[in-house]
Structure 1
C-alpha cells in the first residue's frame, strides 16, 4: 500500500513553505497528483487558467493528460510568474536550466520537516495522498484513474485499500 499523509498535513506543508516557487511546487504535486518528472517538464503554456486545468504532456509512457488546477494554486502561480518570470519551463533553476529532481525532493523533505511529519514524505507520497484523499471524498475511481494518467483501472485500485478513514462514513449493520 502506498504511503499517504493527511489532508491537514499536506496543507500544513504548503502553508509552512515560505519560498513562493517551492510553495507552488508542493501545491501542484499534491493538488494535481503529478509525478516529479511531470512537474519538472511543465511549460508555462501548460497552465490553462480558463479551464482550471494543468496539461501534462509526455508523462509516464509518453502520455498526455489533464489534471486539476485550483484557485489557490493559480493565485500563487500568478504571483510566482510575475516575480520570477520563467522563460520556457514553469519551474526553472538558475539561468533557465530545468529544476533538478534532487531539488524537488529537498523541497518536499524540508516542508515535511517544518511541520514535523514523522513518516518519510516524498514527491510521490503527495501523489498517493492526492489519489487517496479524492477517493475518501467520494470521487469515482475512474476519474482518479484519468487524473493520475493510469492506463488500467487495476493500477488505480491500489488506492481502494488505503482509505480506512472512509470506513467511518459507512453505517454499521448492527448499530
Structure 2
C-alpha cells in the first residue's frame, strides 16, 4: 500500500484512495461524501489519524463547498475518475497484480480480521448483510 500511495502526487487523489483504504468505503460511497459528512470530533466511522492531517490539507487547498470531492466540471467526482486514479497509481508503482479500487476496501477489513476483530463487527462496519461470499451463477453464453 505504501508503494501505491507514494505514486499519487495530487492531494485530492491521494486522499480519495487513502479514505477508501483507511475507512473501507465503497467508491460509490466515496464520491457521494459531502463536506457536512465529515466531523473530526464525532465520528461514526473511525477516521484514521494518519488521514486526518491530509484531509485538513486537502480542505485548505480545494475548499470544497458541496461534495467533499468535486469533479472538474462541478458536481461529484466520478467513480470512473477514482478508478483511473487507482489504475494510474498501480501502473506507476509497477504493481502488476490484477486489482481494483474495491480491493482497498478488502485491504481495510483484512488486518481487522487478522488482529482478532469479531467477524460480525467487521460485517457491520462494511455494511454487509451476510458474511457469506456472493454466489455466482452461470449465464448462458458466458464461459
Partner of 1:165: none
State the TM-score, normalized to the length of structure 2.
0.85
Partner of 2:118: 140
Bigger fraction of residues in strand? 1
Task: Write the distance in 1 (CA, Å) between the matches of 2:69 and 2:46.
Answer: 18
Partner of 2:129: 151
Task: Write the distance in 2 (CA, Å) between the matches of 1:11 and 1:47.
Answer: 25
State the TM-score, normalized to the length of structure 1.
0.71
Bigger fraction of residues in helix? 1
Q: 2:22 aligns with which of 31, 34, 41?
A: 31
Task: Write the distance in 2 (CA, Å) between the matches of 1:75 and 1:12.
Answer: 20
CA deviations 1:59-111 (Å, max 9, x no partner) are xxxxxxx4321111111011001100111111001242211111101100111
Q: 1:49 aligns with which of 32, 40, 47?
A: 40
**Count of paired positions:** 134
Q: How does 1:83-162 map to 2 (within 5 A)?
A: 83-154=61-132
- Is residue 108–residue 121 contact of structure 1 (8 Å, CA) maintained in 2? no
Task: Write the distance in 1 (CA, Å) between the matches of 2:41 and 2:62.
Answer: 22
Q: Which runs of 5+ in 2 are unaligned?
A: 135-143
CA deviations 1:24-57 (Å, max 9, x no partner) are 0000011111111000000111112013x3xxxx
Task: Write the distance in 2 (CA, Å) between the matches of 1:21 and 1:126.
Answer: 17
Q: Which moved more, 1:97-106 or 1:130-139?
A: 130-139
Partner of 1:20: 11
Q: Give the C-alpha shift of residue 155 in structure 1.
A: 5.1
